[in-house]
Amino acid sequence: MIEFHLDARSGVAPYLQLIHQVRHALRLDVLRQGDRLPTVKEVASGLAINPNTVLKAYRELEYQGLVGARPGVGTFVTGTLSGASVAAHAPLRRDLTRWLDKARRAGLDEESIEALFLATFRATGTRQEEDIA
């Protein structure tokens, strides 16, 4: 079971935030097939948000093939996003930790590390798109 949260200042619509959190949890293997999502009532009263917002998020997740509603029982995870890639997480995380240590030793502060990561991430992202095109 996961617990949702809302970032009111993010500017991202609440139903999208719920969808992102489910997808994120699926990717990190926090949510697995067969797990039950909190009920609409639990989410609505827990976060003080409109139940229709929760329904909209769950419907969209259902459309994406990630969850399924069993009437009277609840909404359950039916799909997966992690797949085989979860096995690759551990070595990648080790490499990243090593790189972060190196960056800190080189005198970069948190903000510089984040900026460098994002800039590189975006640059390689566009390069791949160009390769495909």
Partner 1 sequence: MTALDAQGLGKQYGRRWALTDCTLQVPEGRVVGLVGPNGAGKSTLLNLAVGLLAPTTGAIEVLGGVPADGPAQLAKVGFVAQDTPLFTSLTVADHLRFGAHTNPGWDAAFAQERITRIGLDPDQKAGKLSGGQRAQLALTLAIAKRPRLLILDEPVASLDPLARREFLQDLMEAVAEHEVSVILSSHLVSDLERVCDYLVVLAASRVQIAGDVDALLASHHRLIGPRRDPAQLPSGQEVIEGRHTDRQSTLIVRTDGPVLDPVWMVEQLSLEDLVLAYMSQASGTTRGRRPVLEVQR
User: For partner 1, which residue of 24, 41, 94, 102 counts as binding (CB under 8 A)?
Assistant: 41
DSSP-derived secondary structure letter, 13: -
Strands (E), the chain: 36-37, 67-70, 74-77
Q: What DSSP assignment string belongs to 79-125?
A: --S-GGGHHHHHHHHHHHHHHHHHHHHTT--HHHHHHHHHHHHHHHH
Nearest-approach distance from CB 10 to partner 1, in angstroms: 11
Please identify, among the stretches 24-32, 47-55, 94-102, 112-120, the one whose residues bind partner 1 according to the rule CB under 8 A.
Answer: 47-55
Counted residue by residue, the chain has a size of 133
125 binds partner 1 (CB under 8 A): no
18 binds partner 1 (CB under 8 A): no
Please identify, among the stretches 27-35, 45-53, 99-107, 124-132, the one whose residues bind partner 1 according to the rule CB under 8 A.
Answer: 45-53
Residue ranges that bind partner 1, judged by CB under 8 A: 6, 8, 11, 13-14, 40-41, 44-54
